[in-house]
């Protein structure tokens, strides 16, 4: 049994959670003011997106100093107070360690630019090849992954924005510096860590063009990644802490190695294959309806194979990089309540540790932006230009952004129905979702059958029902458009059935309709148990005598 099998993590996008000093930007004191809400929800960990010193070109994922607080978010005193106040309520903090790259404003990079050889070796500087970029690799935010520095006559690698320079993990000094950062925060009482794109840290020994892709196959789950992780974990003593690695374009086999307790790497991993089932030909910027058969098969593969090999999944539909699942896979209008609950049940019923992203628990929809000046995200702004340059009309490009932009998940938290949603008392840095009527914490606190109340129950049940936290999982052969699985533990069986479509679907098996109805995304219990209503999610428990 894992110490975190009964736990639930709540992710806070600091910039958009709660603004205490009325400057339109969420901050650390704002979070302190909401700790009672989070304790009442029942979550065990808070993962905070980066709030360290940063020029904010990628909203803090471009760190200029890992030990200092960006003044727009507060002070070190605020952070220490947050850790202490959370602890009083039985909640631990997880900080976001962005160790694949630093901001180009980091002191190490500045010294590298100034010509200090020692610091040039902290990054990946390469000579031009035939007067051009060393390889044809592409940045994940569009354009080349190499930036030329005329004063040095060299290129540096940046897998993300040009102001996010990739660190050279081959250099033991870099690894030691990063260990010091972990020790620093661990000593402050932080309860866990999230590691940003940590499966990209080990770059290949040979630098070559990618003739079939953007270069990712050379550095994803790279040659020394497991070695580096083991070293980082052992030397900082975090093997038994709550840790999660963000794994970009990874495989089940790799995630087994990252998370199997005997490997002493990480507690769990985020993988993203299930969030690409609406990408046409794997391209995020080509729209397609979600393929629910593929979604079901991906869940089945990841759940069953990780289980069989003693791996552990982080369970999630939403984060700060994703459009809102309720708008993507549910119905954020007519069936908002039913589909919001159903998607919650689908995630929380599985084997792993569930993550809730702020606003998910009240069914926050996509932003609904219709003009380019409403967007803030560097990736969205870059891709808008790329789409336009590739011949898309303004309307087409905006339609794609409305579905795919990361800003969909970054709109400020809807606490109340007031003009500034109780988030701030002035215009926030990013607009609220266009469609927000009836969607607020205040409103849903009053209702017994709200999405919020349902999430509270899901979190509670994981603590009470061993079959949920410890049970084995097996996927059921349910009709297309539905996803079903069973969990089993010590004579108890839990059956979860979810309908992802806007029409009723017949569920043939008698055996799945038996037992006590534990949860239903509809307020009224089913009249015909052999049917799943539109967007219905249903969980039953059976006890074998
Ligand atoms: O994200 C890594 C990442 O590759 C994606 O989620 C990315 O946003 C998407 O693939 C683009 O289509 C992490 C952070 O979560 C993200 O916010 C940062 O921008 C990124 O790393 C760089 O630090
Ligand atoms: Ca503020």
Q: Which of these, 353, 342, 361, 364, lies nearest to 482 by C-alpha position? A: 342
Closest ligand 1 atom number to CA of residue 406: 8
Pick from 165, 196, 213: which residue ends a domain?
A: 165
Query: For ligand 1, is residue 201 a contact (CB within 6 Å)?
Result: no
pLDDT in tens, 473-518: 999 999 999 999 999 999 999 999 999 999 999 998 999 999 999 9
Q: Which ligand is nearest to the CA of 201?
A: 1
CA dist list (Å): 38 to 17, 89, 162: 12, 9, 36
Q: Which is it for strands 45-48 and 154-157: parallel, antiparallel or unpaired?
A: unpaired
Run of H or E residues at 182? helix 172-187
- On whether residue 24 sits in a domain, the answer given is yes
| Whether pLDDT at 265 is above 90 | yes
Mean pLDDT of 269-276: 98
CA dist list (Å): 61 to 9, 56, 119, 295: 20, 7, 21, 29
Strand partners, 197: none
Tokens (6 digits) for 258? 């990252």
Strand partners, 243: 193
Query: For ligand 1, is residue 196 a contact (CB within 6 Å)?
Result: yes
Q: Which of these, 214, 260, 215, lies nearest to 233 by C-alpha position? A: 260
Tracing tokens 């975190």 back to the chain, one arrives at: 4
Does 535 share its domain with 450? Answer: no
Task: Return phi, psi of residue 301, to 5°.
Answer: -60, -50
Q: Which of 246, 331, 361, 379 is catalytic?
A: 246
Range of the domain at 161: 107-165
Exposed/middle/buried for 187, CB within 10 Å: 0-12, 13-18, 19+? exposed
Does 282 share its domain with 341? Answer: yes
Q: How many CB atoms lie within 10 A of CB 197?
A: 22
What CA–CA distance (Å, rounded) separates 368 from 436? 10
Does 533 share its domain with 501? Answer: yes
Does 355 share its domain with 436? Answer: yes
- On whether residue 124 sits in a domain, the answer given is yes
What CA–CA distance (Å, rounded) separates 500 from 342? 8
Confidence at residue 212, expressed as pLDDT on a 0 to 100 scale: 97
Q: Which of 44, 58, 133, 196 is catalytic?
A: 196
Confidence at residue 16, expressed as pLDDT on a 0 to 100 scale: 99
Does 441 share its domain with 512? Answer: no
CA dist list (Å): 467 to 7, 456, 493: 14, 18, 7
- On whether residue 1 sits in a domain, the answer given is no
Query: For ligand 1, is residue 195 a contact (CB within 6 Å)?
Result: no
- On whether residue 465 sits in a domain, the answer given is no
- On whether residue 317 sits in a domain, the answer given is yes
Name the domain count of the chain: 4
Query: For ligand 1, is residue 58 a contact (CB within 6 Å)?
Result: yes
Q: Residue count of the chain, please give it.
A: 545
Task: Return phi, psi of residue 153, to 5°.
Answer: 70, 25
Distance 56 CA to ligand 2 centre (A): 15
Active site residue 196: yes
Query: For ligand 1, is residue 62 a contact (CB within 6 Å)?
Result: no
Distance 103 CA to ligand 1 centre (A): 14
pLDDT in tens, 67-96: 999 999 999 999 999 999 999 999 999 999
pLDDT grade for 1, boundaries at 50, 70 and 90: confident
- On whether residue 467 sits in a domain, the answer given is no
Mean pLDDT of 34-44: 98
Closest ligand 1 atom number to CA of residue 62: 23
Query: For ligand 1, is residue 379 a contact (CB within 6 Å)?
Result: yes
Does 197 share its domain with 302? Answer: yes
Query: For ligand 1, is residue 410 a contact (CB within 6 Å)?
Result: no
pLDDT in tens, 375-395: 999 999 999 999 999 999 999
Q: Output the CA torsion 291→296→299→303 (10° steps).
A: -170
Confidence at residue 508, expressed as pLDDT on a 0 to 100 scale: 87
Does 50 share its domain with 85? Answer: yes
Query: For ligand 1, is residue 197 a contact (CB within 6 Å)?
Result: yes
Task: Return phi, psi of residue 512, to 5°.
Answer: -80, -10
Does 326 share its domain with 287? Answer: yes
Q: Which ligand is nearest to the CA of 428?
A: 2
Q: Which ligand is nearest to the CA of 166?
A: 1
Confidence at residue 489, expressed as pLDDT on a 0 to 100 scale: 98
Which of 15, 200, 278, 321 gets mutated to test ligand 1 (max ligand atoms within 8 A of its CB)? 321
pLDDT in tens, 313-338: 999 999 999 999 999 999 999 999 99
CATH number at residue 501: 2.60.40.1180
The dihedral through the CA atoms of 460, 465, 471, 475 has a sign that is negative
Does 420 share its domain with 480? Answer: no
Pick the residue whose CA is nearest to atom 17 on ligand 1: 321
What CA–CA distance (Å, rounded) separates 450 from 461? 17
What CA–CA distance (Å, rounded) separates 255 from 268? 8
pLDDT grade for 545, boundaries at 50, 70 and 90: low
Confidence at residue 408, expressed as pLDDT on a 0 to 100 scale: 98
Contact between residue 437 and residue 421 where contact means Cβ atoms under 8 Å apart: no
Instruction: Provide the whole-model pTM.
Output: 0.98
Pick from 116, 150, 165: which residue ends a domain?
A: 165
- DSSP secondary structure code for residue 374 in this structure: G
Pick the residue whose CA is nearest to atom 11 on ligand 1: 140
Does 350 share its domain with 274? Answer: yes
Distance 18 CA to ligand 2 centre (A): 8
Q: Which ligand is nearest to the CA of 429?
A: 2
**Helix H segments across 15-70?**
28-32, 35-41
The dihedral through the CA atoms of 518, 524, 528, 533 has a sign that is negative
| Whether pLDDT at 118 is above 70 | yes
Pick from 147, 165, 183: which residue ends a domain?
A: 165
Contact between residue 392 and residue 374 where contact means Cβ atoms under 8 Å apart: no
Closest ligand 1 atom number to CA of residue 378: 19
Does 118 share its domain with 238? Answer: no
- DSSP secondary structure code for residue 317 in this structure: S
Pick the residue whose CA is nearest to atom 20 on ligand 1: 61
Does 155 share its domain with 176? Answer: no
First to last CA, the chain: 25
- On whether residue 466 sits in a domain, the answer given is no
pLDDT in tens, 209-222: 999 999 999 999 99
Distance 273 CA to ligand 1 centre (A): 14
Half-sphere exposure (CA, 13 Å, Cβ side) for 202? Answer: 13
Residues 6+ positions from 73 with CB-CB distance below 8 Å: 14, 15, 25, 26, 27, 28, 51
pLDDT in tens, 351-384: 999 999 999 999 999 999 999 999 999 999 999 9
Distance 446 CA to ligand 2 centre (A): 28
pLDDT grade for 121, boundaries at 50, 70 and 90: very high
Closest ligand 1 atom number to CA of residue 319: 15
Q: How many CB atoms lie within 10 A of CB 286?
A: 12
- On whether residue 184 sits in a domain, the answer given is yes
Query: For ligand 1, is residue 316 a contact (CB within 6 Å)?
Result: no
Task: Compute the mean pLDDT over every residue in the chain, rounded to the nearest whole number.
Answer: 98
Active site residue 246: yes
Query: For ligand 1, is residue 98 a contact (CB within 6 Å)?
Result: yes
* DSSP reduced 3-state for 94: strand
Q: Which of these, 516, 508, 503, 449, lies nearest to 479 by C-alpha position? A: 508
pLDDT in tens, 3-25: 999 999 999 999 999 999 999 99
């Amino acid at each position: 049994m894992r110490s975190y099998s009964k736990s639930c993590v709540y992710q806070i996008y600091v910039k958009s959670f709660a603004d205490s000093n009325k400057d339109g930007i969420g901050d650390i004191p704002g979070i302190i003011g909401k700790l009672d809400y989070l304790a009442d929800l029942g979550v065990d960990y808070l993962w905070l997106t980066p709030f360290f010193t940063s020029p904010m070109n990628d909203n803090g994922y471009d760190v200029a100093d890992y030990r200092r607080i960006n003044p727009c978010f507060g002070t070190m005193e605020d952070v220490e107070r947050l850790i202490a106040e959370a602890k009083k309520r039985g909640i631990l903090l997880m900080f976001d360690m962005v160790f694949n790259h630093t901001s180009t404003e980091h002191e190490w990079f500045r010294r590298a630019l100034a010509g200090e050889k020692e610091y040039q070796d902290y990054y990946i500087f390469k000579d031009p090849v035939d007067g051009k970029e060393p390889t044809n690799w592409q940045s994940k935010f569009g354009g080349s992954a190499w930036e030329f520095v005329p004063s040095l006559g060299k290129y540096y690698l940046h897998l993300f924005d040009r102001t996010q320079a990739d660190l050279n993990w081959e250099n033991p000094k870099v690894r030691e510096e990063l260990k010091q950062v972990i020790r620093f925060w661990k000593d402050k009482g932080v309860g866990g860590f999230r590691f940003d794109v940590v499966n990209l840290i080990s770059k290949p020994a040979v630098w070559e063009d990618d003739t079939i892709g953007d270069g990712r196959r050379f550095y994803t789950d790279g040659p020394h990644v497991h070695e580096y992780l083991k070293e980082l974990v052992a030397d900082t003593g975090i093997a038994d802490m709550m840790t999660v690695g963000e794994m970009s374009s990874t495989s089940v086999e790799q995630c087994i190695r990252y998370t199997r307790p005997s490997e002493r790497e990480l507690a769990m991993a985020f993988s993203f294959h299930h969030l690409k089932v609406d990408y046409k030909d794997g391209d995020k910027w080509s729209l397609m309806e979600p393929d629910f058969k593929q979604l079901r098969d991906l869940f089945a593969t990841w759940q069953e194979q990780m289980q069989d090999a003693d791996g552990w999944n982080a369970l999630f539909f939403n984060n700060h990089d994703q459009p809102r699942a309720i708008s993507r896979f549910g119905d954020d209008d007519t069936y908002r309540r039913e589909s919001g609950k159903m998607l919650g049940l689908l995630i929380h019923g599985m084997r792993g540790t569930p993550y809730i992203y702020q606003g998910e628990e009240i069914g926050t929809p996509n932003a609904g932006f219709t003009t380019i000046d409403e967007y803030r995200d560097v990736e969205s702004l870059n891709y808008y230009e790329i789409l336009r340059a590739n011949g898309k009309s303004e309307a087409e490009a905006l339609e794609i952004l409305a579905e795919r932009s990361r800003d969909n998940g970054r709109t400020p938290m809807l606490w109340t129905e007031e003009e500034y949603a109780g988030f701030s008392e002035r215009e926030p840095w990013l607009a609220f979702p266009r469609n927000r009527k009836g969607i607020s914490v205040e409103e849903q606190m009053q209702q017994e059958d709200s999405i919020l109340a349902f999430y509270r129950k899901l979190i509670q049940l994981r603590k009470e029902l061993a079959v949920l936290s410890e049970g084995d999982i097996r996927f059921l052969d349910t009709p297309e458009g539905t996803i079903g699985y069973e969990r089993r533990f010590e004579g108890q069986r839990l059956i979860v059935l979810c309908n992802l479509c806007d029409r009723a679907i017949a569920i043939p098996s008698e055996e799945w309709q038996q037992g006590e109805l534990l949860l239903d995304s509809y307020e009224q219990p089913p009249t015909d148990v052999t049917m799943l209503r539109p967007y219905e999610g249903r969980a039953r428990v059976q006890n074998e005598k």
